[in-house]
Amino acid sequence: MATIGRAIVRVPRKVRKGQAFKVQMVITHPMETGLRKDKKTGKIIPKHVITKVEFLFNGQKVTTIHSGPGISKNPYFAIMMKVGGSGNLVIKYEDNKGGKWEKKVKVNVA
């Protein structure tokens, strides 16, 4: 099984100044609702979901996504961004079982 919490982030290779660009990400995560039952044992599968995703650009908060069991397995998120210059985009995300991860991406503004 793929590792829980691994993320793939995609940004354009080069961004023109003053232009909005799309940031896409996919996190590997089961997103269990806590309502489903294991068919073999009949026990409820405990809730395990991503609760928060934060996008920070050069330390400044851009977007915060509060998510829950309504988001699909292996969640996909896309947002738009418009920045003045190059910098680092840091994405912090966590789940309800205490998992915390961070992903860093460089944004090149030409």
Partner 1 sequence: MITRRDLFKVAGVGAVTLLAAPGAVRVTHARKKISIDDSMKEHLGVTLSQVKTSNLINVKAPTIAESGANVPVQVKANIPVDQVQSVTIFADNNFNPWVTTVDFSPTNGEVFFATRIKLAKTSPVRAVVKMKDGSLLMGVKEVKVTVGGCG
Residue 15 interacting with partner 1 (CB under 8 A): no
- Sole window of 1-9, 16-24, 90-98, 100-108 interacting with partner 1 (rule: CB under 8 A): 16-24
d(CA 3, CA 62): 27
d(CA 2, CA 29): 9
71-110 residues in contact with partner 1 (CB under 8 A) are 71-73, 75-83
For residue 25, give Cα distances in angstroms to 5, 37, 39, 62, 70: 12, 29, 31, 15, 17
* Interface pick for partner 1 out of 7, 29, 67, 93 (rule CB under 8 A): 67
Positions touching partner 1 (CB under 8 A) are 20, 22, 24, 33, 35-37, 57, 60-73, 75-83
